Amino acid sequence: MVTNNDRATLGVAVAGFGWMGRVHTQAYARLRHHYPNLPLVPELVAVADEVPGRADDAAGQFGFADAVRDWRELAANPAVQAVSITAPNFLHREIGVAMAQAGKHIWIEKPVGLSTADAQAVADAVAVAGVQGAVGFNYRNAPAVEAARDLIAAGEIGAVTHVRVRFFSDYAAHPDGGLTWRYEQARGGSGVLGDLASHGVDLARYLLGEIDSLVADTAIFVPERARPAGATTAHARATGGELGPVENDDYASALVRFASGARGVLEASRVAVGDQNAYGFEIHGTKGAVHWDFRRLGELGLSTGTAYQDQPVSTVYVAPGAGEYAAFQPGAANAMGYDDLKVIEAARFVRSIAEGQPHGATLADAVHSAQALDAMLASVETGAWVRL
């Protein structure tokens, strides 16, 4: 690290420059605006992507000092001290372990591989290397979610009785959506389980504690898709190509029992026509309830009091004092957005490196989420409840 205006710089790199690689890069660039007192200032050292020209374009737009096609060059670059791993799921384990072994701190996207074994391998490599490892469970970073966690912990809604966590999206609803790596077990692992239900599990654990057992069901509703002719980003359409099978789940649901005794329903869909990013939760307790919808990021629906029956629900707007809200807005009801949650994540990652202790979601959280997803897949095979 070298000093820059009395603060040390942190050489960062990005492995995989699709949409999420762009989001991580923009988050690094915004840190000095929202967190001017962070002890480390990220410096964009290098970007890697195997698609010809993609890394060069990223370097030209965002100012990376170097652009390469092989992520292994990032591990070998002494100027790189931290790496964002935003490549497809099947590469998470290989890249994560290699970067940790090279002494690089890692900020890796969920679900961290294709299975619990993959997530555990990355977690073990991080622990052995003594580096920091952050995971992209961004929804827990919403100030409203953090406020909900605090009021639940304070007993404002009584003892939690039951919860519904939903992650509904339509990104795969169109039958012309291309057959990318997301739909293949070998490269994507589980489908909507790994993509969206992993977030749902993390939110549930973050708010209510550990999951004890579950029973699950999954379904594929779009069984075939056309193979795209070339490299794709995000959820590109493909028509006229050779049809191939969709190998993983479009929809997943689970009944959940928490260690606390609370019950829950966790549901995720990537083919929910009419629902765009309909993510959130409804949590009920013995004397109240709290609701959150990602599309109304800064609001909570809150019911508290002593009426029990016919008790009204109020809309509460988060304000400075809730989570990291004050780093972005000066007063209640000023809107925040998705990218802001990744800026919070980046700030916690950098703070973890500076202080040598974790802030935010870690590889341990990724392992717990992966264990729940594997339990869901096991339950689908047997039709039985599975203990975690």
Per-residue pLDDT tens over the stretch 34-53: 999 999 999 999 999 999 99
Which of 95-109, 193-207, 230-244, 314-328 has the least mean pLDDT?
Answer: 230-244
343 domain-assigned: no
Say which CATH number the domain at 295 has.
3.30.360.10
Q: How many domains does the chain have?
A: 2
In percent, the amount of the chain with pLDDT more than 70 equals: 97
CA 180 to chain centre: 20
317 in the same domain as 172: yes
pLDDT of residue 6: 66
Q: Please, which residues bridge with residue 244 across strands?
A: 225
- 128 and 173 share a domain? no
Q: Write down which residue in 137, 171, 197 finishes a domain.
A: 137
Helices (H), the chain: 19-34, 54-62, 72-76, 92-101, 116-129, 143-153, 185-188, 192, 198-208, 338-355, 363-382
> What is this structure's pTM?
0.94
Please choose, from the candidates 131, 27, 28, the residue with its C-alpha nearest in 3D space to the C-alpha of residue 75.
Answer: 131
Say if residue 72 is in the same domain as residue 59: yes
Q: Are residues 40 and 95 located together in one domain of the fold? A: yes
| Domain range enclosing 98 | 3-137
pLDDT tens-digit profile of 207-218?
Answer: 999 999 999 999
* CA neighbor of 222 nearest in space, from 266, 265, 188, 273: 273
From CA 96, how far away is CA 136, in angstroms rounded?
13
**Which among 363, 370, 17 has a CA at the least distance from the CA of 190?**
370
Distance of CA 4 to the CA centre of its chain: 31
pLDDT (0 to 100) of residue 237: 72
Tell me the pLDDT tens digit for each residue of 246-287: 999 999 999 999 999 999 999 999 999 999 999 999 999 999
12 within domain boundaries = yes
pLDDT at residue 150 greater than cutoff 90: yes
Confidence class for position 2, pLDDT limits 50, 70, 90? very low
- Which one of 113, 137, 161 terminates a domain? 137
Q: Would you state the torsion angle of the CA atoms of residues 383, 166, 289, 348, taken in this order, to the nearest 10 degrees?
A: 110
Query: Does pLDDT of 1 surpass 90?
Result: no
Q: Is residue 347 a part of any domain in this protein? A: no
Is residue 381's pLDDT more than 90? yes
| pLDDT exceeds 90 at position 139 | yes
Structure tokens at 101: 């072994």
**114: CATH:** 3.40.50.720
The pLDDT tens digits of the residues spanning 155-192 come to 999 999 999 999 999 999 999 999 988 899 888 889 99
Please tell me the predicted confidence (pLDDT) of residue 3: 47
